[in-house]
Structure 1
Amino acid sequence: MAEIERESMEYDVVIVGAGPAGLSAAIRLKQLDADLQVVVLEKGSEVGAHILSGAVLDPSGIDALIPDWKKKGAPITVPVKKDNFYLLGEAGQVRIPNFPMPPLMNNHGNYIVSMGNVCRWMAEQAEEMGVEIFPGMACSELVYGENGEVKGVVAGEFGKEADGSHGANYEPGMELYGKYVFLSEGVRGSLSKEVIVKYDLSKNSDVQKFGIGMKEIWEIDPAKHKEGTVTHTMGWPLGSNAGGGSFIYHLDNNQVYVGFVVHLNYKNPYIFPYMEFQRFKHHPMVAELLKGGKRVAYGARAISEGGWQSVPKTCFPGGALLGCSAGLVNVPRIKGNHNAMLSGKAAAEAAYAAISDGRSGDELTAYEADLKSGPVAKDLKRVRNVKPLWSKLGLTASLVLGGFDMWVANITGLNPLGSMKHGKNDAQATEEAAKHKPIDYPKPDGTLSFDRLTNVSFSMTNHEESQPAHLHLADASIPIAINLAKYAEPAQRYCPAGVYEVVEEEGKEPRFLINFQNCVHCKTCDIKDPSQNITWVTPQGGDGPNYPNM
């Protein structure tokens, strides 16, 4: 095939992803120098279309970036009024009192928000300052310079046929060059994954760990709605099968966010995270809350859970990893948006200083130093052992020992347990099916619980079907020959959108189907596949979910 000729544009900074990290970087760059040329490229059909987060927002990030955000009308208007923690059993619950919790676990002063709407507002602020924002522009490739540095991205390639050839309406996309390129793609971004491998950014960090977070928005009976109430649960239905828990956040307009997180280091390949979520809603406490209400939206997203010890080197020649691309989530607090904003701000300040000095294409070591010694480090270091304790010793030990470790770190700044290792990655944690028994999940009732494909329709997901599948198999024989034979092909279950199917017909060999049109871009397959045979890459821009106010 002849080499593709593309038009190009040059900027000072090119930012991939219009999430809280990327938008914070764009805003901060313009605050520092209004003449800087800054572009933000977003694969979603609009800013916010691919944003899914709990979310209870710690305002420390937005406070540092835009101190007068209230005056400017930010959609951050529902303060947390009540914090509940429950340990669930199948038929009841035990309230965990708040007083033993370290102060960092207190949600008072935080806000229940739609991060999608917060990002839409941040995009408005950025555009008013002169930032160019292009939604519907998936960045499919990195462009490297003569010295091996990242110098830009390819964005906006459209019109490929299913076999990868160029269709009648093929558009090659553009090359956008920057003195620096910021990758703020969220968890397990395809370009971030590439640079982490290319520059060996993880050589001095532990393996990254992940969870799968699923979320529904419900409109409930006004009599049951308690605006500003935050509830977290652990225990049933997961029990000892997997780590994880739930969140229930009462925002305004009689709406409630109902979410469920399953840690992806579970051993039993028969675990079905989506069905665990659906079963959770039948707990008496939850069912009573939702009774008479209606689900209005659904989505799912992987969550980085490795914490401090799993953060890779965040600068590389020509750019930086921001936010969840670097894995800056505080796991026990279930919060990462504030750290994403702080990382964007820090990266912008480092790039501004470098550009002012006439530099480009080098490593922003000042950003790395800020991240490893500033407020993000302080937030992540003191909770670093909660996740490995939970993984190795279970929920109870994690609550007791993890709580002790956090308390001491909160008071002294030192973790008495040091910095514990995670061990295996989540794919390696999957054991063979022969060691486990299948799990019989109740059939969804269509009122509180729903089948996957019905729920996916509430994510407003759409993909152009004539394009190549954006879920690549390194070896097409592995799903049946290895994953089905050894692991009962867990892709059928770990995917929260029903993308993967094993079709078994009498007299025929089983077939592995990829229904990529259903994909909500959660990246779980890229993480959990026991053979590490699946790679998620970007589909053409604008495709995927269209979340209204997740």
Structure 2
Amino acid sequence: MEYDVVIVGAGPAGLSAAIRLKQLALAAGQDLGVCVLEKGAQVGAHLLSGAVLDPIALNELIPDWQARGAPLHTPVTHDRFLVLDEDLAWTIPHLLIPRIMRNDGNYIVSLGEFGAWLATEAEALGVEIYPGFAVADAVYGDDGAVIGVVCGDMGIGKDGQPKADYTPGIEIHARYTLVAEGARGSLTGKLEQQFGLRDQTQIQKFGLGIKELWRIPGKQHEAGLVLHTLGWPLGGRAGGGAFIYHMGEDLVSIGLVTHLDYANPTLEPYEEFQRLKRHPAIAAMLQGGERIGYGARAITEGGWQSLPELAFPGGVLLGCAAGMVNVPRIKGNHNAMKSGMLAAESVFAALAAGRAHDTLADYGERVVQSWIGRELRQVRNIKPALSRFGSFLGTLYAGADLWLGQLGFKLPWTFKHGKPDYASLKNAREMPKLDYALPDGVLTFDKASSLQLSNTWHESDQPSHLVLKRPEVYLTQNLDVYNAPEAHYCPAGVYEIVQRQGQRALQINAQNCLHCKTCDIKDPARNIIWLVPEGGGGPGYQGM
């Protein structure tokens, strides 16, 4: 199939690019073929975020979004910042919070619902969107440029042989390919290697966001409240913090972001999140409520100094695929949307000039000169300071840095990220073994019951999309040195240690996979390969 532009990923970045391309084409009286491929069963099925949306990009893309029914129903009414210890909570006065971290004018949203609405706007303009199509690789021309993508085969059995319903993966050719597959995308990683888009100094950093959706009693609900916490339960174990967003209809999004550069291999981000809900201040809010949703997703945290080259021959990287999250704001969707719009403008200009499959160098410059670049430069030292100085001193530095920036002082230095997240784990014998309380089934839950709420599904008779490159390394490194960290960091119980012939062995329950990509990030041996499963599999988030 041939298109002018193919876009990988129907998230805010990809859909914004598609909409802008069609807007430009219609304004010029041209017909432009734009195709969006989405590996989820439907648009929004794999979208997961807090989420508080800064509407700055939406105002530019669709100025009349309110009249068009955009699902931004809950404006932020007030911010609250808490520092927690095991029993107490202290409120940070609002006046001490730097302006960049306040949420005036923002909206609490379901990112899945917002993505689905963007998709309807794109389709109304003539964009073709195909859910259930998982992109396995790029297609390269004779000169090495990307000329499109190929989707994964459907109907392959566990034995690797075609089944009766076998369908070979289709190639989608285009004059330009836009990659917007989110954090730690498989295609992104291949393109970074193929074209050398990332050098050794541009280390990407990540966090793991784990989220639940609750319906709570009305008397405990404060519509429009945005609450963030620091301190307990992670404390000195890891960097990170909690978010609690009160949406409409007595709904609350609650989650914990754990920075993945922690050292203790027995730390479990999922269990740390369960501990959070036991805090008296949090438990009182959730008491009598019902948990109705669960999910997890990796978050890019490297920021300005971790951005790779954004353009390659035949295409560009957008949004979280490149890593455009503002860590102190815990926001990236507005930057993702803007990057999609800027990419669309570069692509349209190239097509109008009769070009194809070349490197859109002006796109990277557009990003740098836009408010994306200004915002990411302003907060560039926050994440490295947290990693370098620890949670307490790093937070103090972050506050001083942000306040100085607000007062107009531009600090001349830029901290570098020291090492990738997988290299931060220490030998299990050097660290205390962390034990966690059993779930009570009221506020805290096990992974199996949580997984049910994510609506995760994979075709049972297909090859595992999670494989070990060197199985023998697992025994000598992950198991012997690090005490099987994948069994601790995975938020879905994919990796399980079992007994086989009297020996400990790894069992991979690939059918549980939430596509969070944590194993691809944190595995200390770089041994776990995350392949693309059949399209339509994975989580089926609703209202998340």
TM range (shorter): over 0.9
Identify which of 425, 428, 432 aligns with 1:430.
Answer: 425
State the Cα deviation string for residues 420-443 of structure 1 (Å, max 9, x = none). 011010000111101101111111
Instruction: Please report how far the alpha carbon of residue 161 of structure 1 lies from its aligned counterpart in structure 2 after TM superposition.
Output: 1.3
State the Cα deviation string for residues 45-94 of structure 1 (Å, max 9, x = none). 00000000000001111111111111111001211001000010000111
Superposed, which structure 2 residues align to 1:156-235 within 5 Å?
157-203=153-199, 205-235=201-231
Contact 2:147 2:314 in 1 (8 A): yes
Specify the code of the residue in structure 1 equivalent to 2:377: K
Q: C-alpha separation between the residues in 2 aligned to 1:399 and 1:100?
A: 13
Q: C-alpha separation between the residues in 1 aligned to 2:496 and 2:342?
A: 43
Superposed, which structure 2 residues align to 1:41-440 within 5 Å?
41-155=37-151, 157-203=153-199, 205-412=201-408, 414-416=410-412, 418-440=413-435
| 3-state secondary structure, aligned to 1:72 | coil
**Runs of 4+ that moved beyond 4 A:** none
Residue 6 of structure 1 aligns with which residue?
Answer: none
Does residue 1:479 correspond to 2:471, yes or no? no
| 3-state secondary structure, aligned to 2:68 | coil
Sequence identity (%) = 51
Superposed, which structure 2 residues align to 1:500-515 within 5 Å?
500-504=495-499, 508-515=502-509
Does residue 1:15 correspond to 2:7, yes or no? yes
Contact 1:234 1:245 in 2 (8 A): yes
Q: C-alpha separation between the residues in 1 aligned to 2:66 and 2:494?
A: 41
Specify the code of the residue in structure 1 equivalent to 2:127: V
Q: C-alpha separation between the residues in 2 aligned to 1:214 and 1:475?
A: 29
Does residue 1:495 correspond to 2:517, yes or no? no
Residue 465 of structure 2 aligns with which residue?
Answer: 470
Identify which of 526, 531, 540 aligns with 1:537.
Answer: 531
Q: C-alpha separation between the residues in 2 aligned to 1:466 and 1:76?
A: 40
| 3-state secondary structure, aligned to 1:504 | strand
| 3-state secondary structure, aligned to 1:419 | coil
| 3-state secondary structure, aligned to 1:522 | coil
Q: C-alpha separation between the residues in 1 aligned to 2:189 and 2:275?
A: 34
Specify the code of the residue in structure 2 equivalent to 1:25: A
The count of aligned residue pairs is: 540
Specify the code of the residue in structure 2 equivalent to 1:530: P
Specify the code of the residue in structure 2 equivalent to 1:76: L
| 3-state secondary structure, aligned to 1:394 | helix
Instruction: Please report how far the alpha carbon of residue 25 of structure 1 lies from its aligned counterpart in structure 2 after TM superposition.
Output: 0.2
Specify the code of the residue in structure 1 equivalent to 2:421: D
State the Cα deviation string for residues 210-269 of structure 1 (Å, max 9, x = none). 000000000001111110001000101111010011000000010000111100000010
Contact 2:497 2:504 in 1 (8 A): yes
Residue 452 of structure 2 aligns with which residue?
Answer: 457
Contact 2:152 2:532 in 1 (8 A): no
| 3-state secondary structure, aligned to 2:467 | strand
Contact 1:16 1:40 in 2 (8 A): yes
Unaligned runs of 5+ in 2: none
Residue 528 of structure 1 aligns with which residue?
Answer: 522
Specify the code of the residue in structure 1 equivalent to 2:503: E
Residue 516 of structure 1 aligns with which residue?
Answer: 510
User: Which moved further from structure 2: 471-480 or 280-289?
Assistant: 471-480
Contact 1:20 1:340 in 2 (8 A): yes
Instruction: Please report how far the alpha carbon of residue 305 of structure 1 lies from its aligned counterpart in structure 2 after TM superposition.
Output: 0.4
Q: C-alpha separation between the residues in 2 aligned to 1:224 and 1:444?
A: 23
Contact 2:457 2:537 in 1 (8 A): yes
User: Which moved further from structure 2: 344-353 or 364-373?
Assistant: 364-373
| 3-state secondary structure, aligned to 1:164 | coil
Q: C-alpha separation between the residues in 1 aligned to 2:162 and 2:203?
A: 38
Specify the code of the residue in structure 1 equivalent to 2:259: H
Contact 1:204 1:312 in 2 (8 A): no
User: Which moved further from structure 2: 304-313 or 407-416?
Assistant: 407-416
TM-score normalised to structure 2 length? 0.98
State the Cα deviation string for residues 455-504 of structure 1 (Å, max 9, x = none). 00100000011111111211112222221100001000100000001112
Q: C-alpha separation between the residues in 1 aligned to 2:264 and 2:298?
A: 19
Instruction: Please report how far the alpha carbon of residue 156 of structure 1 lies from its aligned counterpart in structure 2 after TM superposition.
Output: 5.3
Contact 1:136 1:156 in 2 (8 A): no
Specify the code of the residue in structure 2 equivalent to 1:471: L
Instruction: Please report how far the alpha carbon of residue 405 of structure 1 lies from its aligned counterpart in structure 2 after TM superposition.
Output: 1.5
Contact 1:483 1:530 in 2 (8 A): yes
| 3-state secondary structure, aligned to 1:477 | helix
Q: C-alpha separation between the residues in 2 aligned to 1:395 and 1:70?
A: 40
TM-score normalised to structure 1 length? 0.97
Specify the code of the residue in structure 2 equivalent to 1:83: D
State the Cα deviation string for residues 287-324 of structure 1 (Å, max 9, x = none). 00000001001000000000110011110010000010
Contact 1:205 1:312 in 2 (8 A): no
Contact 2:201 2:416 in 1 (8 A): no
Distance 1:423 1:71, change over 3 A: same
Q: C-alpha separation between the residues in 2 aligned to 1:204 and 1:340?
A: 24
Contact 1:236 1:280 in 2 (8 A): yes
Q: C-alpha separation between the residues in 2 aligned to 1:496 and 1:253?
A: 28
Q: C-alpha separation between the residues in 2 aligned to 1:462 and 1:428?
A: 32
| 3-state secondary structure, aligned to 2:116 | helix
Contact 2:466 2:510 in 1 (8 A): yes
Specify the code of the residue in structure 2 equivalent to 1:125: E
User: Which moved further from structure 2: 147-156 or 55-64?
Assistant: 147-156
| 3-state secondary structure, aligned to 2:95 | coil
Instruction: Please report how far the alpha carbon of residue 342 of structure 1 lies from its aligned counterpart in structure 2 after TM superposition.
Output: 0.2
Specify the code of the residue in structure 2 equivalent to 1:491: E
Contact 1:382 1:415 in 2 (8 A): no
Q: C-alpha separation between the residues in 1 aligned to 2:517 and 2:48?
A: 13
Q: C-alpha separation between the residues in 1 aligned to 2:516 and 2:146?
A: 26
Contact 1:141 1:153 in 2 (8 A): yes
Q: C-alpha separation between the residues in 1 aligned to 2:356 and 2:463?
A: 35
Q: C-alpha separation between the residues in 2 aligned to 1:465 and 1:261?
A: 31
Instruction: Please report how far the alpha carbon of residue 118 of structure 1 lies from its aligned counterpart in structure 2 after TM superposition.
Output: 0.5
Unaligned runs of 5+ in 1: 1-8
Specify the code of the residue in structure 2 equivalent to 1:524: T
Specify the code of the residue in structure 2 equivalent to 1:32: L
Specify the code of the residue in structure 1 equivalent to 2:74: V
Instruction: Please report how far the alpha carbon of residue 413 of structure 1 lies from its aligned counterpart in structure 2 after TM superposition.
Output: 6.5
| 3-state secondary structure, aligned to 1:215 | strand
Q: C-alpha separation between the residues in 2 aligned to 1:359 and 1:536?
A: 34
